[in-house]
Structure 1
């Protein structure tokens, strides 16, 4: 078979070499779509006086290949080569590639022997494109647990030529720099693009991510999204659970240090906790956030705020729970326990005790004064009694004076 093709090439070259070059053929390059038919428009450039042209032989050779893609000898009714390539000889020497494949892409030479002589070699290029299928996005692990290293995978297949995959979060920020892209060639020479985006659970608080597929012209051809489950921090009953704010320090004093802890449980997806004082100042930068599993695919958040120099005038401190959309869902307030000042209940009790003691003192003093006055009156009476003459009162003494 190979020997026959070589002989055909030799004979064709000899016949062309002996013929006079009087015609030119012009073919337009084309862009075909994989799986569809692609027409290569060709036409003769005829000198004046030349009208009808009959094609006797034709040969199409792809650059870089040893044997012709197609050879036609009309007088001998010989057609050899790829049956998908068909001549369109009714009005012009055009060609048709049926069921175009990526393998058809390349540069070609078109040689013709006609009734008007040999033509110069016509050249054309066939480019092939294929649109990528809608991308598919998955996560690993499939069930995301708090603290896991999460990876999102986006793949788009069946396209050509190579393009790219970009990543965006729910705010529109481009995360493509964090991703890696891998391109693989299939058996049909179409391509599959794989993009891997590593994330942390905190990154997932941005709620959703999109992977966008771009073709070789950097035009968007498809996209898909990955969304976290749920909309806010919720319990099984459908109501968000109020955060609990406690102090890790039993006693505090003005100017000293303390640690506050705010816990919010039974929510999904990951949110966050912010801290504020009574003036509205945000203390969140001084806090650390920890996320834990709470069972049934729910999460618990715990935030610890460290205070190095306490100013009791900033009380109460407030922790605010935000969902994955950064919307406030609940809050809790807290007054620090202190040792250098009495609390309000203690002050009230102490006041009552002081008043009672003061009342008792006043009563004691009053009674003491009254008792002193009574004793004084008794003394006065005694003295008055002692100063009175006894003769006026004792009849016996009166009789003794007359003896």
Structure 2
């Protein structure tokens, strides 16, 4: 497609001005500032035209905003280019007599962070200037998760702190009690799908020490504190709702071992006694003596005979086969 004369002139002016970073005329200047933008909110990249007294009645002919090599906004021939990406504009009341050419960003995201350039042309000359936007996102209140390990003595607990949704990359810090002493722990930062960061940090401690409050603080890229969360570690193994029995004393362990052995031993002795008694033969009752023998014994006892009943019985049996 053949480039029109006006577009060619615009292209040539932009090459000269953006490449050389200087004004082609002393009648106009530009004043741009470093701007701050909040993620998910409207932002402004501030730039303003400064006119010399001789050019105070000039009209703005061209305004072009770029980020890198991408053109975000272009005003030319008294109209804005509708083919450029949406979401970028000048102030709503802007017209060719307005000197405020700040770029408005409707919904700030991570990709808006960085350097910009603004080119303007009036009836008296041209100027261009660099500008920057620093995008920030506040990290969410951190959460602390606890896990305990009973391997070895004493038991150990690991505190894991997590926070996400911040930008630029921040860090997590651990602090003990009211003294504010900081514990050494590494912060791991991972980029999320939207360009924001997720932070995590682990702190491993030995249980059994005095109860203490451990605080996880989230610091942004500028070093300021965004938020914090705390957890209290008691002197026994009970952490954030996770409870375990304290280590048993030696006497407790001996009692737990001896008691079952006593019960088992009693059962074994009882079973042995049962089988011994059951296996022993029962004594048979003596056979009833014959009536004649009994009568003889009774007669002898009545007569005062001191003879052994067994002998009497034998004699009686001999005489009465």
TM-score (norm 2): 0.62
SS at match of 2:125: strand
- Does 1:190 find its partner at 2:173? no
Does 1:12 find its partner at 2:10?
Answer: yes
8 Å CA contact 2:74–2:80 kept in 1: the answer is no
Compared with structure 1, are the counterparts of its residues 225 and 300 closer, same or farther at alpha carbon in structure 2 (3 Å cutoff)?
same
- Which residue matches 2:30? 25
Partner of 1:103, secondary structure, is: helix
Alignment-derived partner of residue 214 in structure 1: 219
> Does 2:183 match 1:176?
yes
Structure 1 residues 59 and 220: alpha-carbon distance in aligned structure 2, compared to 1, 3 A threshold: same
- Tell me what 1:358 maps to: none
Distance change (3 Å), C-alpha of 1:132 and 1:298: same
**Cα gap change, 1:268/1:202 in structure 2, threshold over 3 Å: closer, same or farther?**
closer
Report the Cα offset of residue 191 of structure 1.
Answer: 1.1
Given that residues 42 and 107 in structure 2 are in contact (C-alpha distance below 8 angstroms), is that contact kept between their aligned partners in structure 1? yes
Tell me what 2:118 maps to: 110
2:245 matched to which residue of 1?
298
The CA deviation string for residues 309-367 of structure 1, in whole angstroms up to 9 with x for no partner, is xxxxxxxxxxxxxxxxxxxxxxxxxxxxxxxxxxxxxxxxxxxxxxxxxxxxxxxxxxx
- The root-mean-square deviation of aligned C-alpha atoms, in Å, is 3.6
Structure 2 stretches of 5 or more lacking a match? Answer: 18-22, 252-321
Separation in 1, partners of 2:151, 2:212: 14
Instruction: Tell me, in whole angstroms, the C-alpha distance in 2 between the residues paired with 1:50 and 1:153.
Output: 63
Looking at structure 1, the residues matched to 205 and 2 of structure 2 have their Cα atoms a distance apart, in angstroms, of 62
From the superposition, tell whether residues 121 and 101 of structure 1 become closer, same or farther in structure 2 (CA, over 3 Å): same
Change (3 A) 1:96 1:173: closer
Q: Equivalent residues in 2 for 1:237-276 (5 A)? A: 269=238
Is the 2:136–2:166 Cα contact (8 Å) retained in structure 1?
yes
CA deviation profile, 1:160-203 (whole Å, cap 9, x unmatched): 122221112235353431x1210111122111111111222235
Query: Residue 81 of structure 1 aligns to a residue in which SS?
Result: coil
**Aligned partners of 2:213 and 2:130: how far apart in 1?**
51
Distance of 1:80 and 1:4 partners within structure 2:
18
Match of residue 208 from structure 2: 202
Contact 2:33 2:47 in 1 (8 A): yes
Gaps in structure 1 of 5+ consecutive residues = 233-266, 271-295, 305-403
Aligned length in residues: 235
| Structure 1 residues 267-310: Cα deviation after superposition (integer angstroms, max 9, x where no partner) | 6659xxxxxxxxxxxxxxxxxxxxxxxxx733146599xxxxxx
Q: Is this contact kept in 2: 1:138–1:226, CA < 8 A? A: no
Q: How far 1:87 sits from its partner (Å)?
A: 1.2
The CA distance in 1 between the partners of 2:156 and 2:119, in whole Å, is: 61
Change (3 A) 1:268 1:136: closer
Q: CA distance change for structure 1 residues 30 and 54 in 2, over 3 Å: closer, same or farther?
A: same
After TM superposition, give the deviation of residue 74 of structure 1 in Å. Answer: 4.1
